[in-house]
Chain A
């Protein structure tokens, strides 16, 4: 074989590998998206046909999962009503609350460590160690504690756990952003008459806002997609992922259509958030501060 053919072969192999990877990556998203728009006859076919694309596009799955109208039943049987809206709202509150909590505590901690080496040399690492085990390992004690504190099955109880679990990530991400900001900028603000808190709020935080936005997105995605903690710490007040898992009916077992519809809805908030803070997801703000 000539070397030209060999190189052509390599190119083909590369394209194939990428294509295979993309299929594995994108197929679930494709299937969820299309399934969300299929009528029940297509997502649960009785005759074994595979519907790659919906033949009969419908919004009935969304209508059913959000309980915003009459779907006309399934195969003539009227299903028990389904309503994911409260669970979505609970997910939003717990996710956003946990994110804010982690951001406030984590950012202040990271600043203290970055500027004053608060807690000593090993402090950052010991904070990260809190994440060296999966949260589920301690969920049973938390369950007892939360029951005792009457935080079990509450949204704010969940937000607290989310905040605690994502706090180490915030510390580590923000620490690297703060470390990049020259010490003299904070000192200049002190000389200009700021209080210590003023230095942080007026001089440092505006500089770290890109890092803050990136961190916020990352942490929110973690909280928003949590399943296992919410499963353990809630009962009646389920979050959306738990709710999604439990959409079943007496007649058909798992209701794939409404599940796909809810799944699609759950993809939206991180996407919207990412679009909003997109321009902050770049670095390079500190350029020009310092003479090198």
Chain B
């Protein structure tokens, strides 16, 4: 069993709290993605696990053993650095062989050679073995770095944004390869990225990290359907979720969310108490761009918005709309040509909407529940 457990780990650099009371449990042979914006503390998290950074507080356990104070080379953890850090003076073969030479007892030259070839074949870098890193393309270097991490049999592998330097096409290809690789390796893998598509497509579970704090840890489906807070909802999805500020209003004992042009009524029972607490301060409605419907798809909606910009992407089109001075993004099927400045009927599918409280925490995720009702028009004056 080689699980990884972090217990209340904190790390501070001067005035920057890189990790703030992080507790995580990564299961045996899990593909675990850490997703977060730049500066979230992702690299610091990996460096703490492998032992290149010593936490100010908290413990790191690998396979049930407390390794908090032990040397990086003694943890049976492999890492692909964010900037690769290949040995520039050594050939690819020597780069791959270097970790094997440091092993004790040291494997024989023949054994080392065989292992290097095996890894090179796996990563399809066999023809490059005699080249130096300077003479490789970005994608090839990336593979060599992955190879150098994999060449020794470790229990846990850490990948720090391994695909970020690659162009889009190669990235998709490598993504599929990595997924395949992990299934064959049967190892615990912690994978850092700032690309939610990568995280969603690869991970068994995703951890969203921001400001050094764990925001949520759950499955890719769950994190999309039930984000723990506004930040997580905003991190997952592209273009990001539309966030519309609403007022919490009570009329004749009926609670509703009001906005200059729309009103959400029939709020589910469970949300009434938390929302009532937000009266006066307000809440946020989260509607994903794919839940914003336009034109004919909007049915007989009375809400109309002006088109600001249109970005056709091929399989879909992003349409920017103006809703009471705010930009709302809609993701629509292709085929209909929208023109800037035209006014279109707009409808929201509230079956996937979220309501966030004043502190950003999720108060309600519809997740298929169609009970929210959208009323269009200025709310009646009390």
Measured CB to CB, the residues of A under 8 A from B are: 182, 184-185, 187-194, 198, 202-203, 206-207, 209, 285-292
> What 0/1 readout, one digit per residue, does chain B (203-223) give for beta carbons within 8 Å of chain A?
000000000000000000000
| Cβ A191 vs Cβ B77 within 8 A | yes
Known contacts A184-B83, A184-B85; A194/B102 CB under 8 A: yes
A57 to B98, CA, bound (A): 59
Q: How far is the CB of B373 from chain A (nearest CB, A)?
A: 51
| Interface presence of B15 (CB below 8 A) | no
| Cβ B88 vs Cβ A191 within 8 A | no
**In the complex, what residue of chain B is closest to A198 when comparing beta carbons?**
B102
Which residues on A sit within 8 Å (CB–CB) of B132? 288
Which residues on A sit within 8 Å (CB–CB) of B89? 206-207, 209, 285
Q: How far is the CB of B51 from chain A (nearest CB, A)?
A: 8
A209 to B90, CA, bound (A): 13
Chain B stretch 50-101: residues in CB contact (< 8 A) with chain A: 50, 52, 71-73, 77-79, 81-90, 98-99
| Cβ B102 vs Cβ A182 within 8 A | no
A189 to B133, CA, bound (A): 16
Which residues on A sit within 8 Å (CB–CB) of B87? 185, 188-189, 203, 206-207, 289
| Cβ B102 vs Cβ A193 within 8 A | yes
| Cβ B71 vs Cβ A190 within 8 A | yes
| Cβ B72 vs Cβ A291 within 8 A | no
| Cβ A182 vs Cβ B103 within 8 A | no
Chain B stretch 303-327: residues in CB contact (< 8 A) with chain A: none
| Cβ B83 vs Cβ A182 within 8 A | yes
Known contacts A190-B71, A288-B136; A185/B52 CB under 8 A: no
| Cβ B133 vs Cβ A289 within 8 A | yes
**How extensive is the interface on chain B, given as a class?**
20 to 34
| Cβ B138 vs Cβ A291 within 8 A | yes
| Interface presence of B165 (CB below 8 A) | yes
Q: How far is the CB of B159 from chain A (nearest CB, A)?
A: 13
Contacts A184-B83, A191-B73 given; 19 further ones with Cβ under 8 A?
A182-B83, A184-B81, A184-B85, A185-B87, A188-B87, A189-B98, A189-B102, A190-B71, A192-B152, A193-B99, A194-B102, A198-B102, A207-B88, A285-B88, A288-B132, A289-B87, A289-B88, A290-B84, A291-B84
A95 to B274, CA, bound (A): 82
**In the complex, what residue of chain B is closest to A288 when comparing beta carbons?**
B134
Which residues on B sit within 8 Å (CB–CB) of A188? 79, 81, 85-87, 148
Contact among B78, B82, B84, B90 for A191, CB-based, below 8 A: B78
Q: How far is the CB of A283 from chain B (nearest CB, A)?
A: 12
| Interface presence of B135 (CB below 8 A) | yes
Q: How far is the CB of A260 from chain B (nearest CB, A)?
A: 44
| Candidate in A182, A191, A291 with the most chain B CB atoms within 10 angstroms | A191
Contact among B52, B73, B84, B138 for A192, CB-based, below 8 A: B73
